[in-house]
Amino acid sequence: MELKGIYAPIPTPFNDDGDLDLDALSLNFDKWLRTPLDGIVASGSNGEWPLLGFAERAALFGACADLSRGRLKVIAGIHCPSTKESLDLGIEAARAGCDAVLVLPPHYYKGQNSREGLLAYFRTIADSVRLPVVLYNMPSNTGFNLVPDIVATLSEHPNIIGIKDSSGDIVQIASICRDTPEEFGVFAGSGSFFLPSLAVGCSGGTMGVANLFADACRDIFLSFRKGDLERSRSLQLSIIEMNQAVTKRFGVPGLKAAMDHAGLYGGPVRPPLLPVEGEVREEIGRIYDCFRSNYREVSP
């Protein structure tokens, strides 16, 4: 598998009782399959993975693999507190028919994250799971940064095919692009710095805003590849407010509210997360409508 293009880190749909709603997931896939997405990530940060049980995550992997109909790549987030459970979930992802797995570094005992320990952890996953491995750097949530030197060393493993870097540190992202093999995919982890990441060598991105505006994300990607920097820059600047609304400002509850507004199924979040309501929900709708209107005006 080659890691490139536009991926959406999908939210996990719940019903009003707090259970997985796979019927709602099917409705969302019907719409995502009509967009220029290359793939999705299930059980990532936007998928509320810490709030899901093992069996729920396995069920989610199976549903996503079935619903993708072979047209979208499915990357399964298998990170768990223990190596054993991560390996067990990787077996479930392979059994479900997923295309790759996404793996965070260990981050509870972060003081013990030595270079040797990190290399051993990721190599164990890559040696044991029968799917390609994508590293995941999310320091704002884990409190731990996966530094370029470690990534460069791990990129030599034949079953570690890339990284999603959500640090927002463009120097770090550039260093990873410089120090890893050409075939090693480096993904921007946010739409807010997608174009700068492409400019330093990234092969694509996994972005919350791609759940809503995969076409605009693809437009930035293709405009850059074609050398139309004016268009890619204009789109990058205009999409920042929408992306920030569904990431740093309002998080997963904001993304689910935006999806409801867009005609997708967002639905409830799982406690301890709280839903956005009232004026915040209205603001998210305003930001969504504004970007959609402006993008339609400039679309070819």
**246 class by beta-carbon count within 10 Å (0-12 exposed, 13-18 middle, 19+ buried):** buried
* % residues pLDDT > 70 (the chain): 100
Do the domain assignments include residue 240? Answer: no
**Total-model pTM:** 0.97
Do the domain assignments include residue 267? Answer: no
- Contact between 220 and 179 under an 8 Å Cβ cutoff? The reply is no
pLDDT digits (tens, 9 = 90+) for 4-30: 999 999 999 999 999 999 999 999 999
pLDDT digits (tens, 9 = 90+) for 26-46: 999 999 999 999 999 999 999
What's the pLDDT band for 298 if we cut at 50, 70, 90?
confident
**110 is an active site residue:** no
- Residue 224: which CATH number? 3.20.20.70
Side-chain half-sphere exposure of 11, counting CA atoms within 13 A: 31
Total number of residues shown for the chain: 300
Can you name the residues that pair with 185 across neighbouring β-strands? 162
What's the pLDDT band for 299 if we cut at 50, 70, 90?
confident
- Contact between 159 and 135 under an 8 Å Cβ cutoff? The reply is no
How far, CA to CA in Å, does 7 sit from each of 4, 39, 230, 295? 9, 5, 23, 20
Total number of domains constituting the chain: 1
Do the domain assignments include residue 97? Answer: yes
Do the domain assignments include residue 300? Answer: no
Q: Which pair of tokens denotes residue 34?
A: 């009509």
pLDDT digits (tens, 9 = 90+) for 136-160: 999 999 999 999 999 999 999 999 9
Amino acid identity for residue 214 in this structure: A
Do the domain assignments include residue 92? Answer: yes
Do the domain assignments include residue 280? Answer: no
Domain range for 181 is 5-228
- Contact between 165 and 176 under an 8 Å Cβ cutoff? The reply is yes
Instruction: Output the CA torsion sign for 146, 151, 157, 159.
Output: positive
**Quick one: pLDDT at residue 296?**
85
**In angstroms, how far is the first alpha carbon of the chain from the final one?**
31
The residue annotated as part of the active site, out of 4, 73, 164, 256, is 164
- Contact between 48 and 270 under an 8 Å Cβ cutoff? The reply is yes
DSSP tag of 186: E
Do the domain assignments include residue 188? Answer: yes
Do the domain assignments include residue 78? Answer: yes
**Quick one: pLDDT at residue 280?**
98
**Quick one: pLDDT at residue 237?**
97
Nearest alpha-carbon partner for 72 in 28, 125, 105, 109: 28
pLDDT digits (tens, 9 = 90+) for 55-81: 999 999 999 999 999 999 999 999 999
pLDDT digits (tens, 9 = 90+) for 228-284: 999 999 999 999 999 999 999 999 999 999 999 999 999 999 999 999 999 999 999
